[in-house]
Amino acid sequence: MKIIRLNAANSAETGRAYTELPRWGVVELSCNRKELPKALGTVENAGFFGLNIKFKEGRSPLIVAYKGKDGPCFDTGRTAFYLGSALAVLDDDNHFIYKSIRVCEKTGNVYASKPYRGHLKVTRADKKLLKTLATDPVPFNCDTFERDAALLNKMIRYSEEKPETPLLYPGPFKKIILKNGTILRRGEISLVSSKTARKLARKEKCARVLPEELFAEPFIPANFREEYKKAGPLFILDKAATAAPKAVSRVSGFEKLANIPGDLRVKLLSVIKHKIPYFVITGSDPRIAGGCCPSIEVYFANKLAKAGMLSSWMPPLSKDACTMTVYAFKGEMQDAKKGEPKFTLNAAFRAKILKHLRKIK
């Protein structure tokens, strides 16, 4: 099998590699961790499938992708079985795969290839249909996207996912949909519960990302059922493979509150309910190199502070002490620069915050 190795996410070079490779060729692209989303988009756009991200200590991430999913769809009586732990997956051709699905000869060959071994099992072709493939092929109905999305929506058993552990799904599928509807996208750092993280690390080879190792903004994963209700099945399709997902920090106004971890939401609700003037989080922002005790809560609290919803103050501490940050709602903290902040509650602003927090399920 021919392999072309690249060292940058260059669309022209990646496209050239796709053209030069034979049908079952492979491209291996090494890139900087911060360039991973862009590199994935470039490889996806070039037409490769089965992308898988491999991490080795001390080395740059390696994207391994395959060529071979082009060609017409004909029926040879093949069925694909999903062997993973998720409810369903979405491949690079936007096919939903759950339990078992009928597939055409082209897709059957793709699913039987190296990147999907251990993830999918595909039956052999029917001998009679295979015999007539070259002379009198039977058309295969690929128009199942809406049907499969509707069926998947009914299969979901929603349960709240506590966003606390950063996790990266490496592939080979574009997206995986968990049994509670949580959607994880390949190469994206998503926040999931500790229980989910342990399960996916074991069964789907997902990589747990330590706070100090964050190389991109973590995302609160979307839920299939919620997105399907709002926009129908098309929500699952990316507008463009090279476009970065909507990051938490880019959400406008009070909508940012919908993306905060559950523990931080509880803190905000408690402060409002009990009329507490401030709350304290111990730990540092993961974006600060060499910080003590990197904290996801600090990360998101700082996002709210940057958006103008919170004020923050770091009290002077002894050398090597863990970082501590005091947070209060907008306009409620005064004289922080003098070392002894004072607080005045803003009932109207707190009511606005409470209104938006209550909308979060």
13 in any annotated domain: yes
Report d(CA 135, CA 16) in Å as an integer. Answer: 33
Amino acid occupying residue 166: P
- Whether 108 contacts 125, CB under 8 Å: yes
> What pLDDT does 249 receive?
36
180 in any annotated domain: yes
User: How many domains would you assign to the chain?
Assistant: 4
218 in any annotated domain: yes
Triad 311, 210, 267: Cα angle to 5°: 35
Please indicate, yes or no, whether residues 216 and 186 belong to a single structural domain of this protein: yes
Please indicate, yes or no, whether residues 220 and 131 belong to a single structural domain of this protein: no
Q: Check residue 158 and give left, alpha or beta (phi > 0: left; psi -120 to 50: alpha).
A: beta
* Helices (H) then strands (E): counts for the chain: 10, 19
Amino acid occupying residue 174: K
Please indicate, yes or no, whether residues 49 and 84 belong to a single structural domain of this protein: no
Please indicate, yes or no, whether residues 260 and 167 belong to a single structural domain of this protein: no
Please indicate, yes or no, whether residues 168 and 254 belong to a single structural domain of this protein: no
Please indicate, yes or no, whether residues 162 and 212 belong to a single structural domain of this protein: yes
Locate the DSSP E strands across the chain: 3-6, 26-30, 49-54, 62-66, 78-82, 88-90, 96-97, 100-103, 120-122, 165-168, 175-177, 183-185, 189-192, 207-208, 279-282, 310-313, 324-329, 333-334, 342-343
Please indicate, yes or no, whether residues 239 and 166 belong to a single structural domain of this protein: yes
Question: Which of these three, 244, 270, 286, is where a domain ends?
Answer: 244
184 in any annotated domain: yes
Q: By residue range, what is the domain housing residue 306?
A: 250-358
Sequential pLDDT tens for the chain (361 residues): 799 999 877 888 988 999 999 988 999 999 888 888 889 989 988 889 999 999 877 788 899 999 987 766 789 999 999 999 999 999 988 889 999 999 989 899 999 999 999 999 999 999 999 889 888 988 887 778 888 888 999 999 988 888 888 999 999 999 999 999 999 999 999 999 999 999 999 999 998 876 666 667 788 899 999 998 887 887 887 643 333 333 333 334 687 888 888 888 888 998 899 898 888 887 788 777 666 667 788 889 998 988 889 988 887 764 455 677 888 998 898 876 666 778 899 999 999 999 989 887 6
Please indicate, yes or no, whether residues 159 and 238 belong to a single structural domain of this protein: yes
Report d(CA 116, CA 33) in Å as an integer. Answer: 24
- Whether 189 contacts 167, CB under 8 Å: yes
Instruction: Quote the radius of gyration of the chain (alpha carbons, Å).
Output: 24
Please indicate, yes or no, whether residues 117 and 59 belong to a single structural domain of this protein: no
> What pLDDT does 240 receive?
35
28 in any annotated domain: yes
Please indicate, yes or no, whether residues 240 and 255 belong to a single structural domain of this protein: no
Please indicate, yes or no, whether residues 27 and 112 belong to a single structural domain of this protein: no
164 in any annotated domain: yes
281 in any annotated domain: yes
148 in any annotated domain: no
| pTM greater than the 0.75 cutoff | no
CB within 8 A of 67, min separation 6: which ones?
18, 21, 22, 23, 24, 25, 26, 27, 47, 48, 49
**CATH number of residue 28's parent domain:** 3.40.50.150
Please indicate, yes or no, whether residues 254 and 318 belong to a single structural domain of this protein: yes
